[in-house]
Chain A
Amino acid sequence: MSISRDDIEKVALLARIRVNDQQVAELEQDLGNILDLVDQLQAADTSNTAPMAHPLDAVQRLRADEVTETNQREAYQAIAPATEAGLYLVPKVID
């Protein structure tokens, strides 16, 4: 199955990865090859098969609704690219 340039650009935007024109051309080829590989799946008869999310069919555990974590804001923010007054800084979003 082939994938169009428009698809690549849309996917890049969804994935929040900037791509230039040359990369779009390369990705068109590479992703097309990968999608050809995975298209083998369509031949399998799965009409009576339930999807599998966990190998042991385990489900999420529940726990008591209690505070178990301690506040480590300073330690976590110490490794952030930009912080101020306990907040993470990003470029201005609202004018």
Chain B
Amino acid sequence: MHNKSVAELSRALASGEVSSVELTQHFLDRIQQQDSQYNSFITVCEENALADARQADELRSQGKATPWTGVPFAHKDIFCTNGVRTTCGSKMLENFVPPYDATVTANFRQAGAVCLGKTNMDEFAMGSSNESSYFGAATNPWGSNRVPGGSSGGSAAAVAARLTPAATATDTGGSIRQPAALCGITGLKPTYGRVSRYGMIAFASSLDQGGTMARTAEDNALMLNVMAGFDAKDSTSIDREVPDYTATLNEPLKGLKIGLPKEYFSDQLSPAMEQTVRNAIAEYEKLGATVKEVSLPNANLAIAAYYVIAPAEASANLSRFDGVRYGYRCDDPKDLMDLYTRTREEGFGDEVKRRIMVGTYALSAGYFDAYYLKAQKVRRLIQQDFVNALKEVDVLMSPTCPSPAFVKGEKTNDPVQMYLEDIFTIAVNLAGLPALSLPAGFVDGLPVGLQVIGDYFAEARLLNAAHQYQQVTDWHQRTPE
């Protein structure tokens, strides 16, 4: 049952082959038995999940089912869940129980899905390995000494280990696509503004976007059907019609124009990685697509622009954690300043503090123009590169990351090395475009991801391209031992 996709589970529930209570118990048992190896969950919601499953079975018996009614899934622990602890991977929120639901949470609740629990993540989504989580690093199911990627590493590991058929995730600089690639699953970052950020704990508000993780493109489409849409509670939400993302999955790819950004096939890529990605692209040619080289001339500036904009926005967003209204508070503060400074010293981990301080510096008097304003201008140059490239082709393809899952501890002492992990994903966030990563093969026994980038609101086309590839390959069906 745990090897079935969301689409298959939905059909099994509809036919009465299995009940939601049975299915939910099955996944809860797997989490109970196996998650000590992966540490992919921070909180498991056993009681709530079973209660929701009973209600789903009841609704189904009354003929009131959606495709998601009774289907288990997990939330990244960044989405607020009313009455269920939401930590964002931080000591600061270790005991934070939100009094409200994120819009994404409410959407899944409305659809009747059953939340199994909250998945592990880098603290405040700042990291590319899951190692900055206050609750310990999650482990990649493809290698016990390997990172699952980050920040949505818990969601990716849980899906890859078949502890949940699907999980929500967020992507600010690659936090959906990179862990999806490293864990051998499919993950989609939608267009900025497509999925509501309300109740999704903020990191860098002009870049943050909620998205989907599952094994198949079809399941990602089913998730996006629930998640996408305008929300007045998110000031940057886009009011635009939401298509049925499953409706176009079966369109043929004949005539699809694929662009390969030459800057993403540089010497940063090992020959084995490059060959694997080129093999996947060759498969697309067999499906009728044409391929040409394109250029993103300012791609080399993306990491620099990101590491000004994201920390600057983070420093503002994380100023709300002051030990006064909710979250951690230090013991025995002697005055207000001591309350603030010690609460934040003790409540935040090292990477979060680094980024707050970089951001504070970049926004401080005398530096704003040289850093933040300059980065916002470079951001537009980077966006224009994509706009120009997407005039010539329908989608762009590249490796998702420069190498497969690295060994735990390898990059923790060098923040800049860790930042370079996102070299192929980060520009997409600056441009606000949708992109997905899908399993495209293996190097040294570890999964490799193919990144597919589309024009604004082209999620359906990306999912269609991924789905067609998954009809002729089985990388997404491979199971870690």
User: What A residues does B364 contact at CB under 8 A?
Assistant: 10-11, 14
Partner of B304, one of A17, A33, A40: A40
Partner of B415, one of A33, A38, A63, A92: A33
- In the bound assembly, the distance between CA atoms of A41 and B301 in angstroms comes to 6
Per-residue B-contact encoding for A18-47, CB less than 8 Å = 1, 0 else: 110000000100110111011111101010
Nearest CB on A from B362, distance (A): 8
Assess A56 versus B192: contact at CB under 8 Å? Given A51-B380, A90-B336, A91-B335. yes
- In the bound assembly, the distance between CA atoms of A79 and B431 in angstroms comes to 38
CB of A85 within 8 Å of the partner chain: no
User: What B residues does A11 contact at CB under 8 A?
Assistant: 357, 360-361, 364
User: What A residues does B383 contact at CB under 8 A?
Assistant: 52, 55
- In the bound assembly, the distance between CA atoms of A54 and B376 in angstroms comes to 10
Partner of B378, one of A10, A17, A41, A79: A41
User: What A residues does B353 contact at CB under 8 A?
Assistant: 15, 17
User: What A residues does B304 contact at CB under 8 A?
Assistant: 37-41
User: What B residues does A52 contact at CB under 8 A?
Assistant: 376-377, 379-380, 383
Nearest CB on B from A75, distance (A): 4
**Segment at the interface with A among B102-110, B123-131, B321-329:** B321-329
B96 and A41 contact, CB distance less than 8 A: no
- In the bound assembly, the distance between CA atoms of A55 and B304 in angstroms comes to 18
Nearest CB on B from A63, distance (A): 8
CB of B358 within 8 Å of the partner chain: yes
Sort chain B's interface into a size bin: 35 or more
B307 and A18 contact, CB distance less than 8 A: no
Count residues of A near B (Cβ-Cβ below 8 Å): 52
A37 and B344 contact, CB distance less than 8 A: no
A35 and B358 contact, CB distance less than 8 A: yes
CB of B356 within 8 Å of the partner chain: yes
CB of A81 within 8 Å of the partner chain: yes
Within 8 A of A (CB), among B350-390: 353-354, 356-358, 360-362, 364, 370-371, 373-381, 383
CB of B391 within 8 Å of the partner chain: no
- In the bound assembly, the distance between CA atoms of A52 and B370 in angstroms comes to 15
Select the residue from A10, A16, A49 with max chain B CB neighbours within 10 A: A16
Nearest CB on B from A32, distance (A): 10
A41 and B305 contact, CB distance less than 8 A: yes
A56 and B193 contact, CB distance less than 8 A: yes
A30 and B344 contact, CB distance less than 8 A: no
Within 8 A of A (CB), among B54-113: 96-99
User: What A residues does B336 contact at CB under 8 A?
Assistant: 90-91, 93
A80 and B377 contact, CB distance less than 8 A: no
Within 8 A of A (CB), among B287-323: 298, 300-301, 303-305, 307-308, 315, 319, 322-323
A37 and B416 contact, CB distance less than 8 A: yes
Number of A-B contacts (CB under 8 A): 171
User: What B residues does A33 contact at CB under 8 A?
Assistant: 414-416
User: What A residues does B315 contact at CB under 8 A?
Assistant: 15
Nearest CB on B from A60, distance (A): 6
CB of B3 within 8 Å of the partner chain: no
B373 and A18 contact, CB distance less than 8 A: no
- In the bound assembly, the distance between CA atoms of A76 and B232 in angstroms comes to 21
A50 and B380 contact, CB distance less than 8 A: yes
CB of B235 within 8 Å of the partner chain: yes
User: What A residues does B96 contact at CB under 8 A?
Assistant: 79
Per-residue B-contact encoding for A68-95, CB less than 8 Å = 1, 0 else: 0000100110111110000010111100
Within 8 A of A (CB), among B169-217: 191-193, 206
A82 and B329 contact, CB distance less than 8 A: yes
- In the bound assembly, the distance between CA atoms of A91 and B342 in angstroms comes to 13
Nearest CB on A from B358, distance (A): 5
A49 and B377 contact, CB distance less than 8 A: yes
Nearest CB on A from B354, distance (A): 6
- In the bound assembly, the distance between CA atoms of A42 and B305 in angstroms comes to 10
CB of A67 within 8 Å of the partner chain: no
User: What B residues does A38 contact at CB under 8 A?
Assistant: 304-305, 307-308, 362, 371, 375
Residues of A within 8 A of B (CB): 3, 7-8, 10-19, 27, 30-31, 33-35, 37-42, 44, 46, 49-56, 58, 60-61, 63, 72, 75-76, 78-82, 88, 90-93
Known: A46-B377, A55-B430. 17 other contacts (CB 8 A): A7-B361, A14-B360, A15-B344, A15-B360, A38-B308, A41-B375, A46-B374, A49-B381, A52-B377, A54-B206, A55-B193, A55-B433, A72-B99, A80-B326, A81-B328, A88-B325, A91-B333
Q: Which 8 A-B pairs have the closest CB atoms?
A: A55-B432, A51-B376, A46-B377, A81-B329, A52-B380, A18-B341, A18-B345, A75-B99
Q: 25 A-B residue contacts at CB 8 Å?
A: A8-B357, A16-B319, A16-B337, A17-B357, A18-B341, A18-B342, A33-B415, A38-B308, A41-B304, A42-B374, A46-B381, A50-B380, A51-B380, A54-B206, A55-B206, A55-B433, A56-B192, A58-B193, A60-B235, A78-B99, A79-B96, A79-B99, A80-B325, A81-B324, A91-B335
